[in-house]
């Protein structure tokens, strides 16, 4: 029973991410076909259309694609922040022994791809894209795993999810440190003051999702105007959401029994509708149900579907449309560098560093997982898509030629890495323990 309670949330997470990966793939194909069809001009026109607000002393006007990349993706990063906080508090990263194996894998998955990219690059302009191959797309990777069915044990999926979340944390830090410019520190100080107030309220047990939304929009706007990418605001805001529940399960169960008895004994109306007393008891039940849930867990649950099924596919549709023609001057060195970093850098880095953790005796393989399965997952981690395209947009925002080349490299590298990982895991068949 306890095992089911522990694994069912992870299995649901994997199911959502797997379907999201399918939608991402479909959106990518549609974007590429649309951009290279006779209606290609409409693709550029739709995402380039400007929307916003203009007032006497304030102006916020952006193309649709930037509303997606700066606005909707802030919700994507907010969800990442919630996942990171959960993993650090009660998940796979909440204790040193549990965290070491995915942590070493993530370090390899961050450092080696960047190293491969830098060593294979001889164009100073393209060097700005060194961080592009560093993060793993959880949705795409889990979607590929889903195709393998029972060949992939749950613990292998948990391992992938854990080190991919650390990868995302590394990508967030890199965006904050290396892809922000002309910072207006006064606006940043105001934003952090607001975040500080939210943290203080959370520590005192005072939390309101409505206050979070209102102040969250203000913090996002301050980051945007300050010169730091506003998606970072999403991650920081997530850490102000409390993870602890106000009411424990035994107290909730006791209240549930009392309310059930009160609802049964309450006066009834002859027309079949609920009486006033019954409605009041049901309202109390709703309050108890809210109090027994972790605000972080509840928000993560409600937001996950929107991010997986709407925001990420829309991001893919608006960003993956690379126009390829005989007139397109693509940077082959950049394409090759990104593809090699995703295929070779990711696989070598994750496999070597995770094996180093085993050799040092500071970690062990997850139950039911073999070393060769770790190799297969190491290749799957080379599917960088969402975060890679996002960083490419930041690195080459003023150079459309390099941006298109980077996207081609990401698509090629992710495709080959994903296919290689799939074939390795498929060839292994049923999982066997290998703890040597």
Mean pLDDT (whole number) for 348-354: 96
> Would you say residue 161 has pLDDT above 70?
yes
300-320 confidence digits (pLDDT tens): 888 888 888 899 899 989 988
What pLDDT band is residue 433 in, cutting at 50, 70 and 90? Answer: very low
CA triplet 170, 11, 240: central angle to 5 degrees?
45
Q: Which fold has domain 2-180+229-244+294-428?
A: Na+/H+ antiporter like fold (1.20.1530)
Quick: pLDDT tens for 84-99.
Answer: 888 778 776 777 777 8
Residue 237 has pLDDT above 90, yes or no: yes
Q: Which has more pLDDT, 341 or 283?
A: 341
- pLDDT confidence of residue 2: 35
Which residues lie closer than 8 Å to 81 by C-beta, 6 or more apart?
Answer: 234, 235, 236, 237, 238, 239
Highest mean pLDDT: which range of 153-167, 256-270, 273-287: 153-167
Long-range contacts at 391-400 (CB < 8 A, ≥ 24 apart): 391/129, 391/131, 391/132, 391/134, 391/135, 391/171, 391/174, 391/175, 391/179, 392/129, 392/132, 393/69, 393/319, 394/175, 394/179, 394/229, 395/128, 395/129, 395/131, 395/132, 395/179, 396/128, 396/129, 399/125
Using one digit for the tens of pLDDT, what is the confidence trace for 133-145?
998 888 888 888 8
Mean pLDDT of the chain: 84
CA distances from 114 to 131, 133, 205 (A): 6, 7, 42
Chain-centroid distance of CA 57 in Å reads 35
Select the highest-mean-pLDDT range: 158-167, 186-195, 382-391.
186-195
Phi-psi category of 149—alpha, beta or left, where left has phi over 0 and alpha has psi -120 to 50? left
pLDDT, tens only, 413-424? 999 999 999 999
Q: What is the pLDDT of residue 77?
A: 87
Tell me what the mean pLDDT of segment 147-166 comes to.
84
Compare 369 and 20 and report the one with higher pLDDT: 369
133 alpha-carbon distance from chain centroid: 15
Cα gap 123→331, rounded to integer Å = 9
Its pTM stands at 0.77
Q: Is the pLDDT of residue 3 over 80?
A: no
Question: What pLDDT is attached to residue 245?
Answer: 67
What mean pLDDT is predicted for residues 146-161?
A: 83
Whole-number pLDDT of residue 95:
73
The more confident residue out of 112 and 144 is: 112
Predicted confidence (pLDDT) at residue 154 exceeds the cutoff of 50: yes
Structure tokens at 320: 């993956």
pLDDT digits (tens, 9 = 90+) for 24-63: 889 989 998 998 889 888 998 999 998 888 887 777 888 9
């Amino acid at each position: 029973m306890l095992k089911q309670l522990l694994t069912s949330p992870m299995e649901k997470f994997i199911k959502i991410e797997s379907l999201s990966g399918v939608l991402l793939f479909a959106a990518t194909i549609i974007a590429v076909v649309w951009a290279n069809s006779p209606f290609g001009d409409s693709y550029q026109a739709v995402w380039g259309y400007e929307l916003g607000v203009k007032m006497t002393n304030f102006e916020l006007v952006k193309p649709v694609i930037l509303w997606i990349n700066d606005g909707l993706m802030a919700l994507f990063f907010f969800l990442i922040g919630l996942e990171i906080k959960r993993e650090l508090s009660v998940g796979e990263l909440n204790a040193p022994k549990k965290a070491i194996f995915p942590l070493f894998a993530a370090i390899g998955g961050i450092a080696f791809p960047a190293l491969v990219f830098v060593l294979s690059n001889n164009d100073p302009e393209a060097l700005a894209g060194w961080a592009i191959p560093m993060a793993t797309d959880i949705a795409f990777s889990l979607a590929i795993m889903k195709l393998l069915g029972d060949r992939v044990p749950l613990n292998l999926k948990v391992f992938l999810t854990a080190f991919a979340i650390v990868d995302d944390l590394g990508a967030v830090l890199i965006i904050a440190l290396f892809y922000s410019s002309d910072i207006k520190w006064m606006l940043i100080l105001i934003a952090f003051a607001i975040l500080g107030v939210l943290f203080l309220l959370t520590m005192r047990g005072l939390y309101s999702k409505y206050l979070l939304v209102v102040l969250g929009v203000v913090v996002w706007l301050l980051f945007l105007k300050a010169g730091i990418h506003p998606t970072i605001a999403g991650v920081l805001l997530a850490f102000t959401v409390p993870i602890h529940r106000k009411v424990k399960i035994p107290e909730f169960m006791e209240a549930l029994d009392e309310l059930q008895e009160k609802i049964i004994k309450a006066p009834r109306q002859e027309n079949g509708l609920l009486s006033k007393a019954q409605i009041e008891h049901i309202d109390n039940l709703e309050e108890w149900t809210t109090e027994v849930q972790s605000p972080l867990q509840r928000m993560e649950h409600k937001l996950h579907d929107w991010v997986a099924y709407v925001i990420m596919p829309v991001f893919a549709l608006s960003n993956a449309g690379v126009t390829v023609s005989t007139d397109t001057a693509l940077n082959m060195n950049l394409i090759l560098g990104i593809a090699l970093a995703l295929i070779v850098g990711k696989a070598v880095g994750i496999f070597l560093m995770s094996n180093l953790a085993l050799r040092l005796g500071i970690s062990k393989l997850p139950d039911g997982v073999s070393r060769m399965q770790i190799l297969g997952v190491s290749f799957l981690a080379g599917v960088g898509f969402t975060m890679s395209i996002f960083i490419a947009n930041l690195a080459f925002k003023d150079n459309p030629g390099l941006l298109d080349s980077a996207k081609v490299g990401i698509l090629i590298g992710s495709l080959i890495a994903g296919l290689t990982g799939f074939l390795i895991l498929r060839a292994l068949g049923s999982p066997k323990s290998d703890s040597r």
